[in-house]
Copies of this chain bind each other. A is one copy, B any other.
Amino acid sequence: MDRRIKKNQTAIMNALIQLMTEKDFEKITINEIAERADVNRGTIYSHYADKYDLMDKCLEAQLQQLIESCSVVVDETESNPSKSSLLRTLELLEENALFYKTLLRNKALLSFRNQLQDMINKQIKAQFLENNLTLDELSKDISVQFLSSAAVGVIEWWFTHSNPCTAKEITEKLWSLLDTNLQMIRSQA
């Protein structure tokens, strides 16, 4: 993609996110966004139909980033890749918490929840494989579903309640819960 487009789009989206943490979405004007992004107003219209379209694309891009943070393993030498990508995801959530909260409240909450659960599902499945668990298919599926639901629920709780703790703390606690469960399942297999 042309670097001009890329740079302007991120500038515009960041401007919107920033403004959304400051005031109500409906009160935000295209003019403000253009000004904040240091971009001509026309440029915004060349990329997005209107405020709402911009919002959609913005949310989409953010979710994509979140998904990637969850699935991509940055550092192979990491002591615990799954845990650190979980932490990275929660830190991203934490970073733009206000933005996500205002957006996820209305729309996309379900799709987001599903995507998140999907990712966590995969991570947990990967953990199962790594540990060479000799479980029958059914027990494994149930356990995976059990743990991923639990995890998503905790994340949702952490996220909707205003900052009960930091991303690092919640990751630690959540991870130890998941870990002890894995240990249990392993010992029973």
Give the complex CA separation of A40 and B7 in angstroms: 13
CB distance from A34 to the nearest CB of B (A): 10
Give the complex CA separation of A38 and B38 in angstroms: 17
Chain B residues with CB under 8 Å of A39's CB are 3
Question: Size range of the interface on A?
Answer: under 10
CB distance from A169 to the nearest CB of B (A): 33
Chain B residue at minimal CB-CB distance from A2: B40
CB distance from A128 to the nearest CB of B (A): 42
Map CB proximity to B onto A65-82 as digits: 1 under 8 Å, 0 otherwise: 000000000000000000
Give the complex CA separation of A34 and B40 in angstroms: 24
Map CB proximity to B onto A114-138 as digits: 1 under 8 Å, 0 otherwise: 0000000000000000000000000
Give the complex CA separation of A39 and B39 in angstroms: 17
Give the complex CA separation of A7 and B7 in angstroms: 11
CB distance from A173 to the nearest CB of B (A): 39
- Residues on A close to B: CB < 8 A? 3, 7, 38-40
A-B pairs, 4 with minimum CB distance: A3-B38, A7-B38, A3-B40, A3-B39
Q: List 4 A-B contacts (CB under 8 A).
A: A3-B38, A3-B39, A3-B40, A7-B38
